Amino acid sequence: MSFPIQRPRRLRNSEVLRKMVRETHLEADRLIYPLFVTFGKGVKSEISSMPGNYRFSADRLLQEIQEANTLGISSVILFGIPEKKDESGSEACNPDGVVQTAVRRIKDKFPEMIVITDVCIDEYTSHGHCGVVKNGKIDNDETLALLAKMALTHVEAGADMVAPSDMMDGRVGVIRKSLDRAGKTDIPIMAYSAKYASCFYGPFREAAQSSPLFGDRKTYQMDPPNSRESLREVALDIEEGADIVMVKPAMPYLDIIYRVKSAFNVPVAAYQVSGEYAMIKAAEKNGWIDGKSAMMESLISIKRAGADIILTYFAREAARILNG
Ligand code: PBG
C-alpha cells in the first residue's frame, strides 16, 4: 500500500487550522454601504426587489447610518431620488437637493463617516438616461459640464469622495479639474471605470425609478463580452485622475476584477449590484439556498478575485457577522 506524500486535506482538519492557512479575509471597514435617499420626512419604504433595503428621507437615513456605524461600517455611498425629474436632470446640481442635504446632515452628525456620492444624472432625468439627450442620442460632451457641476455641489455639501457612474468619456478629467479649481484637491475620485451594460441593475432601477424610457445604456456602458477593453477604460480613468477604480457588476465579472487588479497599482473596488443581491435574497426566500452562507461566499469570491473594496447591499448584514 503506498501513501500519498502530499495530502492537502491535512490542513483542513479543523477550523483552527483552516483559519491559520486562510488566504483571504473580509473586513467590515472595506465594505461600502449603498443607500437611497429621497425627499420628505419620516420615509423608510422598502424596495420590493431588494428586501432589507429602503428609500430613506434624510431624517430616517441618519438612524440607518447610526446603526450601520455601530456595526463597524465606516463608509456609505448615496444615491438620490428627487421629487421631480426633468429633461436635463437639473435637480442633480441643486445645492439643496436630496443628496446634498443628506450629506450635510450626515457629516454634521457623523463627521468620521466616509460619505461618498454617486455622480450620475439618470436618477434625475425624466428619460432615465445617464446623459443629456440630443436628437435621440446621448450627448457625451454636453453631459460633462453637468457632471462636473453635480460633483462640486456634493463636495461643497461635505462629501468625502465622489463616484462618477455615468460612463461618459472624459468625465473623470472634468470632475478632477472642477474640484481642483474650487480648491478641493484632497477629495478622491472613485471611478466606475469598467461598468458593464448589465441586466443585473434591474432592481436598482426599480428603487431609483431610473429605467431609460427609450433605448438602453449600451452606447455608453461596456459590452459584457469585452475584457481587454476594461484595461483601456481603467487606464484612461487613472490618467484623468481617478484614485480608486471600480469594476461593476462584481460576481459575473470576477475575471475583470482579477485582470484590473493585476495590471494596475491603484485600489480596486467592485460593486456587488442590486441584481446580485436580489438573486440571493430570492433564492433564500424560496428555501433554495442558505442566504447567509451565499452572502459570505459571494463576498469572499469578490475579495479573492482582487477587490480591495466592495460596495454591497449586504454591508450591514455582513458586518454583523464579521464583527459578531
Ligand atoms: C447609475 C447607476 C446605476 C447603478 C449604480 N449607479 C444604474 C444603472 O447604470 O442603470 C446600479 C447599481 C445597482 O444595480 O446596484 N447612476
* DSSP letter string, 158-170: T-SEEEE-S--TT
Sign of the alpha-carbon torsion through 32, 196, 184, 148: negative
What residues form DSSP beta bridges with 118? 163
The residue to mutate among 201, 272, 276, 279, having the most atoms of ligand 1 within 8 angstroms of its beta carbon, is 201
Give the residue among 312, 316, 162, 322 at the shortest CA–CA distance from 244.
162
Distance 103 CA to ligand 1 centre (A): 19
C-alpha cell at 323: 464583527
Which residue minimizes the CA distance to atom 8 of ligand 1? 201
**CB contact at 8 A, 214 and 186:** no
Q: Is the CB of 44 inside a 6 Å radius of any atom of ligand 1?
A: no
- Measured CA angle at 275 (ends 42, 169), to 5 deg: 95
C-alpha cell at 42: 419620516
Distance 203 CA to ligand 1 centre (A): 9
Tell whether domain 25-322 is in CATH 3.20.20.140. no
State whether residue 38 is helix, strand or coil. strand
Q: Is 174 exposed, middle or buried (0-12, 13-18, 19+ CB in 10 A)?
A: buried
Distance 198 CA to ligand 1 centre (A): 9
Distance 82 CA to ligand 1 centre (A): 16
Q: Which is the closest atom of ligand 1 to the Cα of 123?
A: 16
CA distance 45 to 55: 5
Q: Is the CB of 204 inside a 6 Å radius of any atom of ligand 1?
A: yes
pLDDT at 324: 77
Write out the chain's pLDDT in tens, 324 residues.
899 999 999 999 999 999 999 999 999 999 999 999 999 999 999 999 999 999 999 999 999 999 999 999 999 999 999 999 999 999 999 999 999 999 999 999 999 999 999 999 999 999 999 999 999 999 999 999 999 999 999 999 999 999 999 999 999 999 999 999 999 999 999 999 999 999 999 999 989 988 999 999 999 999 999 999 999 999 999 999 999 999 999 999 999 999 999 999 999 999 999 999 999 999 999 999 999 999 999 999 999 999 999 999 999 999 999 987
CA distance 299 to 56: 25
In the chain, the N- to C-terminal Cα span, in Å, equals: 47
The residue to mutate among 35, 119, 165, having the most atoms of ligand 1 within 8 angstroms of its beta carbon, is 165
Q: Hunting for cell 471600480 — which residue is that?
A: 246
Distance 272 CA to ligand 1 centre (A): 11
Sign of the alpha-carbon torsion through 40, 42, 48, 49: positive
**CB contact at 8 A, 90 and 83:** no
Amino acid at 61: L
Amino acid at 34: P
Q: Is the CB of 208 inside a 6 Å radius of any atom of ligand 1?
A: no
Q: Is the CB of 273 inside a 6 Å radius of any atom of ligand 1?
A: yes
Give the residue among 50, 72, 56, 4 at the shortest CA–CA distance from 206.
50
Q: Is the CB of 274 inside a 6 Å radius of any atom of ligand 1?
A: yes
Q: Is the CB of 120 inside a 6 Å radius of any atom of ligand 1?
A: yes
Residues carrying an active site annotation: 195, 248
CA distance 124 to 121: 5
